Amino acid sequence: MPMFETVDTLSGSGDWTCPAGVFMVFAQVWGAGGGGGGTVLSDSQGAGGGGGGAFAAGWVRTVPGNTYSYRVPAAGSGGSGVANGSTGQSAYFNGEASNGVSVESGRGGLSGTNGGGGGEGGVALYDGIPATPQDEREGGSGSSTDDANGGGGGGSAAPGLNGNNCNTRLGAAAVTGGGNGGNGGTTGNGSAPTGTPGGGGGGAGVGAGTRTGGAGKVGKITVSYSKMRVLGSSMMVQ
């Protein structure tokens, strides 16, 4: 990634105000993780883990003083009992004239009642400068399960790297700059990932009573830029 004078890490959702002298920014967007599925005692198998969020980055046009909408995505919640885990919110940073960067978050894992399938990882959607994205990566899928244990969550994508898929109860390892997946439960609830951003939650194992999948992790957005200053008839990066 190029070197920048300022890096803003955004939170929640709202509008980012472009500072004076900034006509282009480098936006990096991570999707959130999906939640793991739930189980009940009568299930013959555990629940699937949630998928990891996607990543995309690129140049976005801006005008000083204008505001630009964004959303740092909330993670998917874990399903309880017969419920599947939920999918994380989509993430985006919008620039001028619909020019921006957006990604999907990981999908939720299926409950044990619904087959215990793992959630798919998110994909990136890009409309920046140039037409070819600077970077566009997919999130890792959560693990399915064929026994009483819950499946682990998929890892989130990161700059230059797709997220790791999960094929066991233990959540996917994090790639550099991404988040890990949560562990599936044995006879208990699934776990949320320990790191951020954007890993999927672990599916619940089959135990006595209703069990709940782990929640995914929230996504992330950074906006990086350097100001321009005028020297005579030319402009230079400050």
User: What confidence tens digit (pLDDT) does each residue in 198-223 have?
Assistant: 999 999 999 989 999 999 999 999 99
What confidence score (pLDDT) does residue 4 get? 81
pLDDT in tens, 109-141: 999 999 999 999 998 876 666 555 578 899 999
Question: What stretch of H or E contains 132?
Answer: none
Give the pairing type, strands 228-231 and 220-225.
unpaired
Q: Which two tokens stand for residue 68?
A: 């630009």
147: Cβ contacts below 8 Å, ≥ 6 apart: 45, 46
What confidence score (pLDDT) does residue 235 get? 44
| Maximum alpha-carbon separation in the chain | 77
Q: Which two tokens stand for residue 151?
A: 């499946």
Peptide bond into 197 cis (omega under 30): yes
**Beta strand spans in the chain (E):** 6-9, 13-17, 24-30, 55-61, 67-71, 91-94, 100-103, 124-127, 135-137, 220-225, 228-231, 234-237
Q: How far apart are CA 197 and CA 235, in angstroms?
A: 37
Q: Which residues of the chain have pLDDT under 70?
A: 1-2, 126-133, 229-238
What confidence score (pLDDT) does residue 133 get? 58
- In a 10 Å sphere around its CB, with 0-12 CB exposed, 13-18 middle and 19+ buried, how is residue 25 labelled? buried
Mean pLDDT across the chain: 91
Global pTM? 0.92
What confidence score (pLDDT) does residue 208 get? 87
